[in-house]
A = this chain, B = another copy of it.
Amino acid sequence: MAATTAMASSGSSNRIEAQPLYVKARNIMVNRLIAGEWRPGQLLPSEFSIADDLGVSQGTVRKAMDDMTAQGLLVRKQGRGTYVAEAEDNSILFRFYRLTPDDSDATTDKAEFPESDYLAQSQGQATKQEQDIFLLSSEDMVWRFERLRSDPLGPILWERLVLPARQFPDFTPTTRLPNNVYQFYSSRYGIIVAKVNEKLRAVTAPQNVSQLLGLPDQAPVLEIDRRAVALNDQVVEWRISLCRSDRLHYRNELK
């Protein structure tokens, strides 16, 4: 082991922080991701060189990376190296997309990713609720989108999407979100979405929505309230979707 380095405390000092080396290593590396020092798609230094940098062995760095890989943060390729995951990796396009046509039974048989029609897009001051969600003050601005998403058979869902303006500085009232937003956040702004929290309810569709979706009046639809949170635990996106439930369902696998 190296003589004197950042991590190798080695002095059995009276510091209370009894934390395994690989946990410290993981924290350091995750912080580099948060800080944007390592950006999505980037090739990381090799396990050996990181180990050398941190003053630990390759196995320890590797164990730290195990967690991050399992979490989907990193992607390893034997013989080539380890990359910061992009939203497209791992067929992760569908990681957060749970809607499936009723007929396709196989779990692997994925639906097409729906297209989007934009109904409205505007910037405005954050409402009380939005301030709570994004931890903003009353002067802060947010972007709001309304769009209708459809697959080849017709409209699937209506959704309202809110983003804190600060995180997306170069937006204009005419910039459209791409189809895969998390890929977009990742590649363009370096925002890594670590998880999303969803709340599902069954509600009766408002008249305008049921019309847009081509559903009868008072039809029941699935309401999905989703908050995407980044690695630093900040909410970076809030969306409410109203999904038709007559030919689609929300599929979930719990382990």
Contacts and interface: CB of A to CB of B under 8 A. Distances in A.
Interface in A228-255: 243, 245, 249-255
Interface in A180-210: 194-204
Interface of A is mostly: strand
Contacts of A250: 199-201
B245 A198 contact: no
A252 B196 CA distance: 8
Interface residues of A, number: 33
Q: What is the oligomeric copy number?
A: 2
B195 A254 contact: yes
A70 B67 CA distance: 10
A222 interface: yes
Interface in A208-229: 218, 220-223, 225
Given A200-B200, A201-B245, 20 more contacts: A70-B70, A71-B255, A95-B254, A96-B254, A107-B197, A197-B251, A198-B251, A198-B252, A199-B251, A200-B249, A200-B250, A200-B251, A201-B222, A201-B249, A202-B221, A202-B223, A218-B218, A220-B220, A222-B222, A225-B249
